[in-house]
Amino acid sequence: MNAMLGKTLAWAAAAVFVAGPVSADWVTLKDGRRVRGIDYRPCPKGHLFTVEDGRIAFIKADQVVSHEKSPPGEKVEFRGAQATLRAKINALRKEREAYHAEMRDAIAAWARGGKNAEERRAFVMAQAAAEQELHFGRTLAESRLTTARRLAARELERFRTDHATGALAVAMIADKDADVRASALAALEKRRDPKTGEHCIPYLLSADKDLRIRSSMALQAFPTIRAVPSLFLTIHKIWTGGQRSYFFQGAMRAYIGDYELVSGGTAYTLTEAADPIVRFSETGVVLDVKIARSEETIHIQTLETITGRSFGKDAGKWREWWKTAGEAEFARALAAPKAGARPETPPGAPQ
């Protein structure tokens, strides 16, 4: 064990010269705590920070009092040996990656079935609930094995967290396999998380028609007033402008349709010549088509389900409702915590 630890620390120490300086970062928070880690870097609305256990934490900008670098080469105790903080974190990170791979392979073996499926299932179920949720979510999002994604969707039903809701909602809309989408929908219907619909909203503005339609139909099952502005925008973008249209497929051809005499000459001679008149003809097919407005109809049905109003395709009535009542409802919904929002406390906690 000591030999393995020594090799791991040696590998992590060697990585220091490639990955960056040996100095660690100390961050003092408003609540008086000092958080130690490496790779402290800015991001929108705060900072990202790799903390001592190897995980990446998000710290809001207004929670930071000060940030300072440790003395170069500062050592910490790690499993009975002295190592730089970067070496410790890199060692833990490598172990974590190996654990992720083991869990991924175990879930895949469980999903495939076979002689060791029950053994792999027992291994997965013996892990902490938070680890199970994390790896089922990763399997649902990343695995190429359809049976593994279906298994992950069924298992995530047990977890009543926003992370599980988001993973299932994405699979319900974006997974390429219909059975996986159905499994995710069934899990979400049993959980009945009131924030499910909020995870569907981004897909309303997708360039992919199928994703827009699936997200709209999902919002009929999990309605939220937050989706109304995106529905208005989507309907505006896909509006065709009429019920009928046509297009022409053909070719234009030139031909000599007639001649006319042109006179000319000098004082002694007069000559008439035939000048051709060039005309054009078009040959081809004109197709008259009726515009299929099924997507627009689905979005309007979703609007009616969410708002309880039945204005159909009357844009004027929808605008009037939005100004008199809808905008106020939307503002109240915005005041509530949003799905997937980072918690206010504890700042600096690993995410």
Q: What is the pLDDT of residues 276-289, one digit of tens each?
A: 888 888 888 877 66
* 166 vs 255, residue with greater confidence: 166
Instruction: Confirm whether 298 is domain-assigned.
Output: yes
* For residue 268, pLDDT beyond 50: yes
Give DSSP secondary structure letters for 154-207. HHHTT--SHHHHHHHHHHHHH-S-HHHHHHHHHHHHHH--TTGGGGTGGGGG-S
pLDDT of residue 25: 83
The answer as to whether 201 is a domain residue is yes
pLDDT attached to residue 345? 33
Number of separate domains in the chain: 1
Amino acid at 37: G
Residue 182 one-letter amino acid: A
Q: What is the domain extent for residue 326?
A: 194-263+281-332
**Does position 343 have pLDDT exceeding 70, yes or no?**
no
The answer to whether the CB of 318 falls within 8 A of the CB of 232 is yes
pTM of the model: 0.68
Higher pLDDT, 191 or 7: 191
> Quick check: 188 pLDDT over 80?
yes
Question: Taking CA 108 as the corner, what is the angle to CA 107 and CA 111, rounded to the nearest 5 degrees?
Answer: 85
- Tell me the average pLDDT across 8-27: 52
Which pLDDT band, with edges at 50, 70 and 90, does 10 fall under? very low
Under 8 Å between Cβ of 152 and 140: yes
Residue 57: inside a domain: no
Tell me, what's the pLDDT at 240?
Answer: 58
Question: Is the per-residue pLDDT at 270 higher than 90?
Answer: no
Instruction: Give the pLDDT band of residue 305 (cuts 50, 70, 90).
Output: very high
> Span 227-240, mean pLDDT?
85
Whether 69 contacts 25, CB under 8 Å:
yes
The 10 Å CB-count burial string (b at 16+, else e) for 164-178 is: bbbbbbbbbbbbeee
Residue 230 lies in a domain: yes
Residue 348 pLDDT level (bands cut at 50, 70, 90): very low
Give the distance from CA 333 to its chain's centroid: 22
For residue 197, what pLDDT is reported? 94
Decide if pLDDT at 346 tops 70.
no
C-alpha closest to that of 13 among 100, 104, 62, 76: 76
pLDDT at 253 over 60: yes
Residue 60: closest CA among 38, 45, 49: 45
Does 340 or 154 have the greater pLDDT score? 154
Q: Does 315 reside within a domain?
A: yes
At residue 72, the pLDDT reads: 72
Q: Picking from 106-110, 186-190, 310-314, which range would have the lowest pLDDT averaged per residue?
A: 310-314
- Most confidently modeled of 59-73, 88-102, 173-187? 173-187
Torsion sign (Cα): 135, 140, 143, 148: positive
**d(C-alpha 249, C-alpha 240), whole Å:** 21
Burial class (CB in 10 A: 0-12, 13-18, 19+), 264: exposed
The pLDDT assigned to 41 comes to: 87
Provide, rounded to the nearest whole percent, the portion of the chain with pLDDT above 70. Answer: 84
| Mean pLDDT, the chain, integer | 83
Flag whether 233 is in a domain. Answer: yes
Q: How confident is the model at residue 203 (pLDDT cuts 50, 70, 90)?
A: very high
What pLDDT is recorded for position 241? 57
Residues 6+ positions from 338 with CB-CB distance below 8 Å: 198, 226
If one compares 328 and 167, the residue with the highest pLDDT of the two is 167
Percent of residues, the chain, with pLDDT higher than 90? 39
Say if 1 falls within a structural domain: no
Q: Is residue 207 part of a domain?
A: yes
